[in-house]
Amino acid sequence: MHRFSDMLSRSLGSNLDKTDAEYLDFITNSSKRLYDLVEKILDFSQVNMKEFHLTKVNINQTVDLIKSDLSSLINIGNCAISYSGLPKELICDKHLIHSVFQNLIGNAVKFKANENPCIINISCEPTDNTFLFTVADNGMGVNEKDQGKIFEMFERLNPSISGSGIGLAMCKMIIERHGGKIWVESELGKGSKFKFTIPQNVSTRIDL
């Protein structure tokens, strides 16, 4: 539908009056949102279905790659991203963990509080048997009563900001597949700290 409406728009061009153009715009945008939602649902369904490949991952490189991938969004949001203490050899599924960090960083950029610079800090604290990761921001924050709900499918606390409501649910599933937990510590208007754990020994089987 999205491609058809796009072709129709290009074909008719200036022959459309203002009202028809607005209708066609609505159809095009709605179909694109539907397409994006279907893609996200497929990604979510594959998290549990795809084979689990454990390898040693340098999380510093993972974050650098995400910063490059999201550079346009980061520049528009006037964001500063820093990180420290990240493990150079985390045993995990490389692509799934990449998705977790990309979702958390992308959300921090999207949900910035105002026109002030967006500040994101990513850190890791090793314990006896786990790595505790924190993705902290100075954004809008999350009301205490909503902090559990945001990890549910299709849960969107701010409909005015684009999104599928699937990203955090996917993060939760990925972290739990690794044997960890994810949660948020936040106060409305005072930023958020998304925290998750990954066991230091996810499995004895590693794909080299």
Give residue-wise pLDDT tens across range 54-109.
999 999 999 999 999 888 888 887 899 999 999 999 999 998 999 999 999 988 88
Q: Is 199 or 112 the better-scoring residue by pLDDT?
A: 199
Please name which of 153, 64, 76 lies closest in space to residue 110, comparing C-alpha atoms: 76
Spatial CB neighbours of 80, under 8 Å, sequence gap ≥ 6: 117, 118, 119, 120
Helices (H), 14-166: 18-49, 59-69, 71-76, 94-110
Q: What is each CA distance from 119 to 74, 91, 138, in whole angstroms?
A: 10, 28, 6
